Structure 1
Amino acid sequence: MLLVTVASLAFAVSGPVARLARPAHPVFVACGRVALAAMILFAIDPRGVVRSARALAPANRLRILLCGALLGVHFALFLAGLDRTSLPAAVTLVSLEPVSVVLCALLVHGVRPTRREQIGVLLATAGAAVMASAAGSGEHQIAGDLLVLAAVALYGLYVAVARSLKDALPPRQAGALIYATAALTIGVALVPLGAHEGIGALPIGSFLAIFALAVIPTLVGHTSVQAAARHLSPAIVALVSPGETLGGLVIGAALLGAIPTWREVAGAAVILAGCTITIVGPAPPPVLDGAKADERPLQS
């Protein structure tokens, strides 16, 4: 639970700090974020990363590549969307990730959502519609909202694939390989999108913000989630998402003056209610005497 709390706080700074990276191109910010995270994790244990990579079965190597590609595009879309819409809208819409996880679990693994999860999905979707209705006022633009929603959809696919890697290698080694793959995936798009232009003229504050994104929400946040997921049910781990949204709204308002409109507040409240209903489902069955902890059925 401590890991879940730490991850929530780490993720909460993601949106506000990404705003501080301006005028850097959001795709460059995404690439720098995961590239730095990969290099730091590799520097901590280079032999362990290489040893884990060599020991992977071919199928798991493909899963690592797919996870990295999905995570890289997720980061690029989210930061691009954040750059084109209001901060309150972006950090609220990203809290739809538990809904995406539930839907992708159904599509990929055939895990049918419970009635409570179905109600939560419908409620959160209604909240997203309310949030989208606020587009056009100030920085809030529908194009940015759609990019964030695309990022949310990819996150669900990322989690669906990552679940199969739970026992393949330790979280730190997995993070190094996945972040490196994500950086390479985003790096391919830097030149075609013109995200590399003007890098030399960026202020030092942009690079400091990218470094902060690499360390706080990426290394601390995502690595904590990966570790927590090995000991807690997915429903509990998914509590990170509403915590991220609430923290991001508070930090954005306090430090950047990003005050949400009344429609954004209403949409955020409905989305958070739906996500909470979705992830706070019935408790998993108790573990029988003599059973191993990893044999406990996982909620979707």
Structure 2
Amino acid sequence: MTSDKPVISPILGLGLAILAVSAASILIRMAQQEAPSLVIAAYRLGFATVLLAPAALGRRWGEIRALSWKALGGLALAGAFLALHFAAWITSLEHTSVAISSVLVTTTPLWVALLSTLALGERLPRGVVLGLGAALAGGVIVALSQTCAWDGVRLACDWQASWRGQGLWGSLLALLGAVFASGYLLIGRRMRASLSLTAYTFVVYGSAAVCLWAAVLFAGLPAGGYPLNTYAWMLALAVFPQLIGHSTYNWALRYVSATVVSVSLLGEPIGASLLAVLLLGEVPGAVELVGGALILVGIFLAARSEPV
């Protein structure tokens, strides 16, 4: 943790990030009507890098130019993990529901908690451990709500329906997205300590964009020729979930642990559900509401235990 005082509370910043990131699933689904998932991921990071370029190449160019090859290698590795995260998660939305994909991709705190002690030498406060347990329990309940129903006597689950078709593949991709996101957060926690937010995000997002565009070209996917509204959805992905949402997460990494930041990611399914109610008329059931409440309690417990 750094000793400099943030402009706003990192916890408030994480709350704003949750709101911005929650729109991602809906924007992705809109873009997927015309564009392949890998192309959407590449445009998301590409647009974000271009929008950051004036500030990064202006005010922060000296800072970026002074980076050592070792530092650039670490930032490039973080960008590669970020590229893998988006490639896996966005593709998962082609094969499974938004709810299941969002819940599985937000298991990131589990992987961060398992790896952070070894990678960063951080001790997990008791509140973070309790919050992690509550949030993960809530995530499991939300996931069960997709395949289980209470008939008044017992909980009946149709597991075959859950994994029928390509659902299993989509779920595995979302889980992989969570694993890759944990690597991105753990590397970022160390690199952000000595870099400004603009310099860090520009290099990392740029590295991720290069990786994704290389994958698009390797896969032989069309880089252009999409309807104008598809580009608008992808630009919105870059502005709101990426520049506002993910950049705020990166900003918070300077003040709180990677575990607290990753636990806050569990708010995304809640925010996405609220947006789905407002925009799509999808009202969550009672089981989903219980799971969502547990996730919010987990975020509160973890955040409260971290001094800011």
**Normalised by the size of structure 2, how large is the TM-score?**
0.78
Change (3 A) 1:48 1:5: same
Residue 149 of structure 1: how far off its partner (Å): 1.4
1:176 paired residue number:
202
**Contact 1:81 1:143 (C-alpha < 8 Å) held by counterparts:** yes
Corresponding residue for residue 72 of structure 2: 61
- CA 1:6–1:42: 2 relative to 1, 3 Å: same
Q: For 1:102-130, what per-residue CA distance to the aligned partner results, in whole angstroms no more than 9, with x for missing partners? A: 22203423435455545555555555555
**Residue number among 73, 78, 89 corresponding to 2:89 in the alignment:** 78
With 94-103 and 233-242 compared, the bigger mean Cα shift is at 233-242
1:207 aligned to which of 211, 214, 231 = 231
AA paired with 1:227? W
SS in 2 for 1:166: helix
Are residues 1:16 and 2:26 paired? yes
Aligned to 1:111, the other structure's residue is in SS state coil
Question: Does the 8 Å CA contact 1:131/1:268 hold for their aligned counterparts?
Answer: yes
Counterpart residue number, 1:282? 305
Which amino acid is the alignment partner of residue 210 of structure 2? L
Contact 1:106–1:112 (CA under 8 A) maintained in structure 2:
yes
Corresponding residue number in structure 1 for 2:192: 166
| CA distance in structure 2 between the partners assigned to 1:109 and 1:83 by the alignment | 35
Q: Deviation per CA, 1:120-175, whole angstroms, max 9, x where unpaired? A: 55555555555555463599923222211111111111111111212332101111
Q: Secondary structure at the match of 1:191?
A: helix
Deviating above 4 A after TM superposition, structure 1's stretches of 4 or more consecutive aligned residues are 114-133, 137-140, 232-239, 258-277
Deviation at 1:60, TM superposition (A): 0.9
Q: Residue 77 of structure 1: CA displacement?
A: 1.1
- Of 232, 246, 250 in structure 2, the residue corresponding to residue 226 of structure 1 is 250
In terms of mean alpha carbon deviation, does 140-149 or 153-162 score higher? Answer: 140-149
Q: CA deviation at 1:192?
A: 4.0
Cα distance change on mapping 1:61 and 1:173 into 2, 3 Å: same
Q: 5 Å matches for 1:1-300? A: 1=9, 2-23=12-33, 24-114=35-125, 117-118=128-129, 120-121=131-132, 124-125=135-136, 134=146, 136=161, 141-194=167-220, 196-197=221-222, 199-200=224-225, 202-232=226-256, 237-238=261-262, 240-260=264-284, 268=292, 277=301, 279-280=302-303, 282-284=305-307
Residues 1:227 and 1:109: Cα distance change in structure 2 (over 3 Å): closer
Distance 1:258 1:140 in 2: 23
State the shift of 1:243 in Å: 3.1
Task: Work out the CA distance in 2 between the residues paired with 1:79 and 1:253.
Answer: 21
> Which sections of structure 1, spanning at least 5 residues, go unmatched?
285-297
> Alpha carbon RMSD of aligned pairs, Å?
3.1
Per the TM alignment, residue 266 of structure 1 is displaced from its structure 2 partner at its CA by: 5.8
Counterpart-to-counterpart distance in 2, 1:128 and 1:282: 21
For residues 264 and 131 of structure 2, what CA distance do their matches in structure 1 show? 16
Could you tell me how far 1:101 is from its partner in structure 2?
Answer: 2.2
- Aligned partners of 1:282 and 1:208: how far apart in 2? 40
The CA distance in 1 between the partners of 2:223 and 2:57, in whole Å, is: 33
How far does residue 89 in structure 1 lie from its aligned partner after superposition?
1.9
**TM-score between both structures, scaled by the size of structure 1:** 0.80
Q: What percentage of aligned pairs have identical amino acids?
A: 28
Counterpart of 1:224 in structure 2: which amino acid? T
